[in-house]
Amino acid sequence: MKKGNKLFVVSALLTSLVFAGCSSQQPAAEGGGANAGGGDKKIVIGFSQVTSESPFYTALVDGAKAEAQKQGAELVVMDAQNDIEKQNADVQDLITKGIDVLILNPTNPTAVVPALNAAKQANIQVVTVDRPTEEKVAAFVGRDNKEMGRIAGKQAVAILGGEGKATGKVIELQGDAGGKVMMDRHDGFHEIVGKESGVKIVEGPYADYVRAKAVKAFQDLLQANPDVNLVYAHNDDMALGALQVLEQAKMLDKVKIVGIDGLSEAVKAIVDGKYSATVFNDPTKLGSIVVDTALKVAKGEQVPEYVDGGTGLIDATNAKDVYNEKDVFAQMK
């Protein structure tokens, strides 16, 4: 081969290698996603949950995890175990972990201020869920618990004889002392039932929305009030505790039960004729909504100060339609 031809071949080979190198890099730049060129990082959401003892809060976290995974975000959950001091410490830990936005289900609406201040100092926006705080935050995702109490109250009045004619004794199983949800579900119910002069309400102790505590409390209440006509519980888990006691006492046919949350076990009890009514409070949907809201906040998008998850009554007229044994809570259609 002549010298000129050799130079031409070497030059051609070098040129082809350069182009091959360029073409081999191109797909990585095109197909590497948001992070390929050092773009958007995964948003990290901190979630300080009030407790994991209640099935409602377990389902809320499950809904939040599913939505975070769906949207490609990271969710870090910490359980406050109904302890406000632990919750304030948990939030500080979440901030230290480098979260971008905080979801907070406050153990106490006022005593959680140290957690809110810590987030503010770290320039981290806060979205509260299920329970609001008295301090202003980016958004509150929840439901009107006072309206839930009113819905339960209207059903109780109807069961006891109707508006203006209702008579009987009601035992009320209450949630957590000082909790905003507890106070709203108490006040809404009393707003309606309190108008009925023929109805007496016996306020039971705080059972913290936990069935085991409700069973113990209701055993004592039933012994002191054997003439009870209706049980109203601030959630279905406590109401099902009362159902258990009433079954053991063979009094289930004499006492009606009204709860809140739409726990599937309670909905099945309605279908079976053991339970009168419950009120929708689909936690899975709430968890999904709060994560979606938190991500919008983290991205700087405008969101309403209050995001309403909606509610409604479940009774014998619609229990079969909304019951699904695979769901922990009845899902709103």
User: 193: buried, middle or exposed (CB in 10 Å: 19+, 13-18, 0-12)?
Assistant: buried
287-300 CB burial, b ≥16 within 10 A, e <16: bbbbbbbbbbbbee
The CATH architecture annotation of domain 145-279 reads 3-Layer(aba) Sandwich (3.40)
Instruction: Give bridge partners of residue 171 from the DSSP assignment.
Output: 202, 231
Collect all residues with Cβ–Cβ distance below 8 Å to 89 and sequence separation of at least 6. Answer: none
pLDDT surpasses 60 at 272: yes
- CB 221, CB 251: distance < 8 Å: no
Predicted confidence (pLDDT) per residue in 171-201, tens digit: 999 999 988 889 999 999 999 999 999 999 9
* Whether the predicted pLDDT of 79 surpasses 80: yes
DSSP H helical segments within 32-71, as ranges? 55-70
| Residues whose CB is less than 8 angstroms from the CB of residue 165 and which lie 6 or more positions away in sequence, other chains included | 198
Q: What angle do CA 94, 46, 237 make, to 5 degrees?
A: 115
Do 149 and 189 contact (CB within 8 A), yes or no? yes
- What are 13-44's pLDDT values in tens digits? 334 433 334 333 333 322 332 333 334 689 99
- For residue 138, give the nearest of 101, 173, 113, 170 by alpha carbon: 101
b/e burial code for range 314-324 (CB count within 10 A of at least 16 → b) = bbeeebeebbe
Distance CA 202, CA 200 (A): 7
- The domain spans of the chain are 44-143+283-302, 145-279
Statement: residue 165 has pLDDT above 80: yes
Cβ-contact 188, 218 below 8 angstroms? no
Structure tokens at 66: 């599913």
Average pLDDT across the chain, whole number: 89
Tokens 């507890």 sit at which residue? 182
| Confidence at residue 56, expressed as pLDDT on a 0 to 100 scale | 84
Residue 82, phi-psi category: left (phi > 0), alpha (psi -120 to 50), beta (remainder):
left
Average pLDDT over residues 250-260: 97
CATH of the domain spanning 44-143+283-302: 3.40.50.2300
- Quick one: which H or E segment has residue 319? helix 319-322
Q: Which residue has the higher pLDDT, 19 or 153?
A: 153
Task: Report pLDDT digits (tens) over 275-299.
Answer: 999 999 999 999 999 999 999 999 9
Indicate whether 94 pLDDT > 80. yes
